[in-house]
Amino acid sequence: MATANHNLSHYDKNTIPDAKQYRFGIVVSEWNDTITNGLYQGAYDALIDCGALPENVLKWDVPGSFELIYGCKHMINHQVDAVIAIGCVIQGETKHFDFVCEGVTQGIKDLNVQTETPVIFCVLTDNTMQQSIDRSGGKLGNKGTEAAIAAIKMADLRRQK
């Protein structure tokens, strides 16, 4: 696994642009909320740690991961510099997992191609609940933290270009 030897929560603050000047949107799936709430907290804490002002971090909840696309699309209209899409899809017994994962991935990719606002993919697509726990504040750190750092860097890139 890509994260087996990497803690998702580690970052060098000296290499991160100051986030104070940026507005961030975070769209969070309510499905598997124990996991998505952990991912949100990791993202929020990293944004604040890197200088983002609490009033410049907007959070919206959507029912599930598939709805992240619609939520992110509309979040972009709220003058944010970057959006983080947070979700969690865990493999089940049917093909539903494959359809949701592919749809969300393609939808978020489409938003990145069609708009000027970066949308960061923070959707766990794990085989087991334990894998998701490990990546949402567990032994492998927090993918939400990693997504926040990506959002800051992409917001900075957007403003420079």
pLDDT (tens digit per residue) in 87-130: 999 997 788 878 888 999 999 999 999 999 999 999 999 999 99
Q: List, in order, residues 6 or more apart from 117 with CB less than 8 Å away.
A: 76, 80, 81, 82, 83, 111, 158
The top-level CATH class assigned to 21-160 is alpha beta
Instruction: Please tell me the predicted confidence (pLDDT) of residue 2.
Output: 55
Instruction: Please tell me the predicted confidence (pLDDT) of residue 98.
Output: 80
b/e 106-135 (16+ beta carbons within 10 angstroms → b)? ebbeebbeeeebbbbbbbbbbeeeebbbbb
Instruction: Please tell me the predicted confidence (pLDDT) of residue 1.
Output: 42
Contact present, 115 and 76 (Cβ < 8 Å):
yes
Helix (H, G, I), strand (E, B) or coil at 105: helix
pLDDT tens digits, 53-77: 999 999 999 999 999 999 999 999 9
Is residue 87 within a helix (H) or strand (E), and if so which, with residue range? strand 82-90
Q: What is the CA radius of gyration of the chain?
A: 15
- The answer, yes or no, to whether residue 161 has pLDDT greater than 80, is no
Beta bridge partners of 86: 28, 122
pLDDT tens digits, 11-53: 888 899 999 999 999 999 999 999 999 999 999 999 999 999 9
Q: How many angstroms from the chain centroid is the CA of residue 87? A: 8
Instruction: Please tell me the predicted confidence (pLDDT) of residue 128.
Output: 92
Q: Which of 137, 36, 35, 149 is nearest to 85 (CA)?
A: 36
CB-CB neighbours of 73 under 10 Å: 19
Q: How confident is the model at residue 159 (pLDDT cuts 50, 70, 90)?
A: confident
Q: Is 6 a catalytic residue?
A: no
The Cα 14–Cα 34 span in angstroms is 31
| Domain range annotation of the chain | 21-160
Instruction: Please tell me the predicted confidence (pLDDT) of residue 73.
Output: 97
The one catalytic residue among 6, 10, 78, 96: 96
Instruction: Please tell me the predicted confidence (pLDDT) of residue 9.
Output: 81
Q: How confident is the model at residue 5 (pLDDT cuts 50, 70, 90)?
A: low
Scanning the structure block, which residue is given the tokens 């949701």? 100
pTM: 0.93
